[in-house]
């Protein structure tokens, strides 16, 4: 059953990625056709064609490797001096397909009669920008829709009053022996919590008649009550229960005012003799629905965080390589490949992430939706990078064309003509090569050293 649930999570991500790619390319396709550009292909994926159908002048299809997509517009680049009359260079919006086009040295495509003015490079600067931004904006819209649904229908995580029991120790172990002793012997004394019937997942409402507002309150109220009978009120499966426990004297780790365990300069726990119950607890997490007005601020915050991760990719890739080929752990806030996203989804649906699923955890379905929202935000931000073969590279070329024309007009000079962004192909080669290397490294790291969300 676990394997089936894991596979369902991976399948959900695979379908979500495919839909996101397809909608991204529709974001290019619709304005291109609206502005009269001839679009010869709309493809999801790259590599060998699995299925295709022609509708009018456009071939729609699916290719074997669903990790990209493209539309092919005629005349993305203006003709070069010496090009055969009636021909234009072939290119497309997809990163991988562009790389293939470039490897073929931008082969020429015959322009049929009547298509001379249906080429991309003849569009006005604003229309070029709209066409090329259509894809990333579609990813942003997908993320906004998903996040709006999550915030308004499910809510955001908030810390509520109380403490949630994470674990219950069966036998009494001192803080000094806790790191080495992992099993209980039959002769070991049982902990007060175990004897009283406290269970993992219980929400501790009060101890000795005093309301629990945060996790640190549990230790604060238990430690001075050695040998005293203490009433502990918990909520279990929505039902309030009153349990009675008698804390015993034990060597326990001291905690600071913020509730965090204290260690000395050498990293060893600072211990004291105090009342001991035998539980570890964490905050109570609830989900509070938000109004639609909260969506813009939340989306803006996520965009800033996503941009921060993307800007730090070169730095974070060092950590990825060190983790993949060394003994270090992966940074949970670092970049991942589609394989990594799929593993996270599978772990979530299979119940391998403690804070997802169950009575008190985040809904696995909501987690999957949030993954897809994050992925689309990343696609939006990443495609805005002003380098070929990314969409932002074509936008930068269009803006440069507009700037050159404006400067020429102000100086009273002739129209300088269309900017040939193909001259930046050396940059495109370099960027594509870096993207391929990064993708391979991330996939390898996500296989041998995946990011753990179990904490």
As annotated, the active-site residues are 25
- Per the document, the length of the chain is 455
Rg from Cα positions in the chain: 30
Spatial CA neighbour of 134 closest among 1, 32, 27, 239: 27
Whether the CB-CB separation of 116 and 371 falls below 8 Å is answered with no
Query: How far from each other are the two terminal CA atoms of the chain, in whole angstroms?
Result: 24
Q: How many CB atoms lie within 10 A of CB 176?
A: 13
Tokens 């994050």 belong to residue: 374
Copy the structure tokens of residue 100.
Answer: 């293939």
Q: What is the 3-state secondary structure (H, E, C) of 90-139?
A: CCCCCHHHHHHHHHCCCCEEECCCCCCCCCHHHCCHHHHHHHHHHHHHHH
Name the 3-class secondary structure at 212.
coil
Cα dihedral 222, 225, 226, 230 sign: negative
Name the 3-class secondary structure at 34.
helix
Cα dihedral 202, 206, 209, 214 sign: positive
Q: Which residues of 87-109 are buried (b: 16+ CB within 10 A; e: fewer)?
A: ebbbbbbbbbbbbebbeeebeeb
Task: Calculate the alpha carbon distances from 345 to 156, 258, 332, 356 in Å.
Answer: 19, 33, 14, 11
**What's the DSSP call for residue 435?**
H
């Amino acid at each position: 059953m676990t394997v089936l649930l894991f596979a369902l999570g991976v399948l959900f991500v695979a379908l979500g990625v495919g839909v996101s790619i397809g909608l991204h390319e529709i974001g290019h396709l619709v304005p291109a056709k609206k502005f009269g550009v001839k679009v010869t292909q709309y493809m999801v994926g790259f590599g060998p064609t699995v299925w295709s159908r022609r509708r009018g002048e456009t071939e729609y299809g699916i290719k074997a490797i669903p990790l990209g997509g493209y539309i092919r517009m005629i005349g993305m680049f203006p003709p070069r001096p010496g090009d055969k009359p009636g021909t234009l260079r072939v290119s497309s919006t997809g990163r991988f397909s562009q790389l293939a086009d470039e490897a073929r040295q931008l082969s020429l495509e015959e322009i049929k009669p009547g298509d001379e003015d249906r080429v991309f490079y003849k569009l006005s600067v604003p229309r070029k920008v709209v066409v090329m931004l259509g894809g990333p904006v579609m990813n942003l819209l997908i993320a906004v829709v998903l996040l709006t649904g999550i915030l308004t229908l499910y809510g955001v995580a908030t810390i509520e009053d109380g403490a949630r029991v994470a674990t219950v120790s069966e036998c009494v172990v001192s803080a000094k022996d806790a790191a080495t002793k992992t099993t209980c012997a039959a002769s070991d004394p049982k902990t007060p919590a175990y004897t009283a019937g406290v269970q993992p997942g219980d929400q501790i409402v009060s101890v000795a008649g005093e309301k629990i507002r945060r996790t640190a309150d549990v230790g604060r109220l238990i430690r001075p009550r050695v040998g005293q009978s203490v009433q502990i009120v918990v909520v279990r499966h929505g039902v309030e229960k009153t349990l009675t426990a008698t804390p015993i004297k034990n060597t326990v780790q001291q905690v600071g005012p913020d509730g965090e365990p204290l260690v000395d300069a050498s990293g060893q726990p600072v211990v004291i003799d105090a009342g001991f119950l035998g539980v570890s607890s964490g905050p109570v997490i609830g989900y509070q629905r938000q109004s639609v007005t909260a969506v813009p601020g939340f989306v803006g915050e996520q965009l800033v965080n996503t941009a921060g991760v993307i800007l730090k990719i070169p730095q974070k890739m060092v950590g990825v390589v060190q983790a993949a080929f060394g003994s270090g752990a992966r940074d949970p806030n670092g970049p991942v490949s589609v394989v990594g996203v799929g593993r996270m989804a599978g772990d979530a649906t299979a119940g391998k992430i403690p804070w997802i699923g169950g009575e008190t955890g985040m809904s696995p379905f909501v987690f999957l939706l949030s993954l897809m929202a994050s992925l689309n935000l990343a696609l939006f931000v990443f495609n805005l990078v002003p380098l070929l073969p990314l969409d932002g590279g074509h936008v930068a070329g269009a803006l440069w064309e507009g700037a050159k024309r404006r400067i020429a007009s102000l100086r009273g000079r002739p129209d300088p003509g269309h900017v040939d962004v193909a001259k930046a192909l050396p940059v495109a080669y370099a960027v594509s090569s870096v993207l391929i290397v990064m993708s391979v490294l991330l996939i390898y790291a996500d296989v041998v050293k995946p990011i753990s969300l179990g904490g």
